[in-house]
Amino acid sequence: MGQLKNKTLDILLIEDNPDHVKIIQWALEQSKSKNRLHVVQDGQSALDRLFTGDSGEDEMRGGPDIIFLDLNLPKVDGREVLRRIKADSRLKSIPVIVISSSQRNDDVRKAYELGANTYVTKSLMFEEFTDAIDHIKTYWWNVAQLPSR
């Protein structure tokens, strides 16, 4: 355990709510591991970055190590983004953590059917939301073994 504490991870956050971006960014910065957070605010920008290599100013060498994905996105819905990631042989091994406001069983089931590795419901309470991100970090950074990129 603890294999990634000194490794720098490239995290792609696909989230259109600037407040949620700030909360996730803050929670990730609290860890001792080094991370490079790359943020896109809509599904089309995420697909462009992942499939065409259009990464803007902050290059992700070899793609992200992990993806945080909101389901309700402008331009291209998060479900379609997830479907396309998991259908692509080059990207499907990247863990996708769905972070959504929806608690609907249909949304949870569909996300897992499309290949989500984890589904977390966003809490309206700051502390609960940051605790959830902390639990995600503990598992994906210190327990799970990620494929090398």
The helix or strand, by DSSP H or E, that contains position 112, with its residue range, turns out to be helix 105-113
For range 89-115, the mean pLDDT: 94
Matching residue, tokens 């503990």: 138
Q: What is the average pLDDT value for the chain, to the nearest integer?
A: 85
Q: Please give the average per-residue pLDDT across 115-131, as a whole number.
A: 85
Tell me the pTM: 0.87
In angstroms, rounded to a whole number, what is the distance separating the alpha carbons of residues 121 and 108?
Answer: 9
Q: Does the structure show a pLDDT above 80 at 2?
A: no
List the domains of the chain with CATH numbers.
9-140 (3.40.50.2300)
Report residue 58's pLDDT band, with 50, 70 and 90 as the boundaries: low
| pLDDT-derived band at 142, boundaries 50, 70, 90 | confident
Distance, in Å, from the CA atom of 28 to the CA atom of 148, rounded to the nearest integer, reads 20
Measured in degrees and rounded to the nearest 5, phi and psi for residue 102 equal: -75, 130
Whole-number Å distance between alpha carbons of 145 and 128? 26
List pLDDT tens digits, range 25-51: 888 887 666 788 899 999 999 999 998
Give every CB contact of residue 73 below 8 A, 6+ residues apart in sequence. 14, 16, 41, 42, 43, 46, 81
pLDDT at 4: 47
* Of the listed ranges 9-13, 106-110, 134-138, the one predicted with least confidence: 134-138
CB-based contact 55:38 (threshold 8 Å): yes
Supply angle C-alpha 127, 23, 39, rounded to 5. 155
CA 101/CA 71 separation, integer angstroms: 8
Query: Given this model, what pLDDT does residue 7 score?
Result: 65
Cα 76-81-85 angle, rounded to 5 deg: 155
Q: In the predicted model, is pLDDT for residue 60 greater than 70?
A: no
Of 50-64, 73-87, 125-139, least confident by mean pLDDT is: 50-64
- Look at residue 113 and tell me whether its pLDDT is greater than 90: yes
The arrangement of strands across the sheet holding 35-40 comes to 35-40, 9-14, 66-69, 96-100, 118-121
The confidence score (pLDDT) of residue 107 equals 94
